[in-house]
Every structure is written in C-alpha cells, then in structure tokens.
Structure 1
C-alpha cells in the first residue's frame, strides 16, 4: 500500500501528509504533497544524495509525516516541516544521517533539502522547500 502524505493547509502552520509515486529509488522517485492550494511534487535525486533520499522515503513510507505541519514559513525564502504536530509536539525520529553536500545540489528556488542544526550530520525527518 502506498503511504499517503496529505497536506491540509491552514494559513500557518500548514498540516500535511504525502504520497510516494511508484517509481523505484534508482529512477528519481517522486513524492506528492497534496495541499489545499494544489499539489507539490518533489522529485528526488538518489544518484546525488542516496542516504538522504533513502532516509526521506523511509519517513514517507512509515507515515511519519501524516498529520505534521509546516512549522516554519519564511515568505520568499522557505517552508519547513516534517517534525511537529499541530499542537507543536515534536515527533520522535530515527538517528541523524550524514551530510551529502558533495553531491553538488544547490539550495535554489523550488528545491528540497533536509533541515539540520548547526551540526552538519544532524538531519532526521525535517525538510525544507526553497521558495
């Protein structure tokens, strides 16, 4: 069964969940965020960030993002989600993954990346979309 990642957008924060398209990891999988303002489709690049993509897809498959919110929204910069429920309770995560910056993936408009603390190898479930 394909996990659903539904995004029922509130003004702020936006509540969401996701669906994973059927493409295998090696074929640049797509994750669809269904929002009240229309879908957002994320195309992932496992050939450039394999650990990051596997991590993100596992959270999708586990239903981790169901019922979480975009808790950080900075107009003209980014939206961040994947870690908090609507009542701002932080969801438990798996161990952090290493930074894969060597892949040459810049933080450009409409790209997705894992959120981190000031420590480079600290990404877990939270992600952000550059807007």
Structure 2
C-alpha cells in the first residue's frame, strides 16, 4: 500500500508536464559506469566530484556532484548554478518519507525559463539512497532540465533496474553535509496551491547555490 502511495506521489511530483511514453530502456552509455553502488556514503577522496554549497532559508546543504558517473547531468547542474539560476527559487514540493524537490519555481510559483532538456543517465549505477540527489523529469526520459530532488529515504523503485518505465531517475551525487537541513525541509507543513500539491505553506527558499571545496 505504501509503495502504491509513493508511486502516486511520484507521478504528481515528478511528472511536471505531459510527455511521451517511451518503454524502450535507454541505450548503454558510452562512458564507464559504476558496477555496484553498494553504500549511501559518498567518499569525495575518490576524486571526480564537484561540490556545491546550497544556502536555504532553513540552513546550508553541501552536495557532491559525481562528474565521473553522471558527466552530462553534472555539467547541466553546474551550468545552472554558475548562472545563478537557482538563486531565490524554492523547494516547491515536499513529501515526507519520500523526497524534497526544487529548482523549478520561485516563491510565487512562477517557473523561470530553462535550457534544453538533457539526456538521461539513469544507467550509471548510482542509486536513489537517502541523501542522494537526482533529476526530476516528465514521463519522457530525456526531459530533465533544472529540477532536482533529494531522497529522504531509500527509493529503490526509482532506480533504473527497478523502475516501472524501464528508465528510472538519474542520480548524480548526494549530500555530504546538512542532512539535518534536508530533514527539516521534509518536515515542514505543506498544502495545495494553484493546482499544485505538497507545496510548503511557508516557502523554503534556495538563497543560492555556489561551487565549494570538497575537502
């Protein structure tokens, strides 16, 4: 029953606009993939990570972005961050026991113009563990732009091998500091606004996202 509710929540929170239903699994990527992502912990000493400080109205979150196993997605996130795109946007959808989603709307629920959608990288072997960051998209696999979500529990059904649509959602890094802030965001009161559900009653603002040291 809980799984069914989460799938329904996913449909509401991730499928931002209508898209085509593609049932063919994505082709194997041309770059090396992780054979077994068996721990939620991220060891930045491995290298090939870029780190970002996300300052929010409830505290700071530090995220390590995996440039080795999610190169296109990482480059996309960096581009938005460098441009200051995320500044003053909000976490517009929060579902307790599931995830927090942001990067697509301001406090007035206006949607800023984004760049072109990117190619999905969900077959990179990275999993939707608690604390991992992944891309939100429509039902079309290659439709992610700026919106992301941070898992607050292990959402195995979002992983490419388990996903009902054969694609799943691209994980491209994770929180290395500030999970207490993620948990605080997950706990805020939510409601329905302008046809959107699970919107925080008091806006949770992303003040800025800036490159930071991984050390």
The alignment's TM-score, normalised by the length of structure 2, stands at: 0.48
Match of 1:108 among 129, 143, 148: 129
How do 1:42-121 residues align onto structure 2 when only pairs under 5 Å count?
A: 42-121=63-142
Structure with more helix by fraction: 2
Q: Where does residue 10 of structure 1 map in the other structure?
A: none
Contact 2:90 2:106 in 1 (8 A): yes
Match of 1:34 among 55, 61, 72: 55
Distance 2:83 2:58 in 1: 25
Bigger RCO (CA 8 Å, 6+ sep): 2
SS at 2:93's partner residue?
strand
SS at 1:103's partner residue?
coil
Structure 1: stretches of 5+ with no match in the other structure: 1-25
TM-superposed deviation, 1:115:
0.5
The alignment's TM-score, normalised by the length of structure 1, stands at: 0.77
- Structure possessing the higher radius of gyration over alpha carbons: 2
The size of the alignment, in residue pairs, is: 106
Q: Which runs of 4+ in 1 moved over 2 A?
A: 35-38
Alignment partner of 1:127 is 2:136: no
Contact 2:132 2:150 in 1 (8 A): yes
Question: C-alpha offsets along residues 83-118 of structure 1, whole Å, 9 cap, x if unaligned?
Answer: 101100111000000100121111110000110111
TM-superposed deviation, 1:38:
2.7
Structure 2: stretches of 5+ with no match in the other structure: 1-46, 153-215
How do 1:5-16 residues align onto structure 2 when only pairs under 5 Å count?
A: none
Distance 1:84 1:73 in 2: 13
**RMSD over equivalenced CA pairs, Å:** 1.1
Contact 2:133 2:148 in 1 (8 A): yes
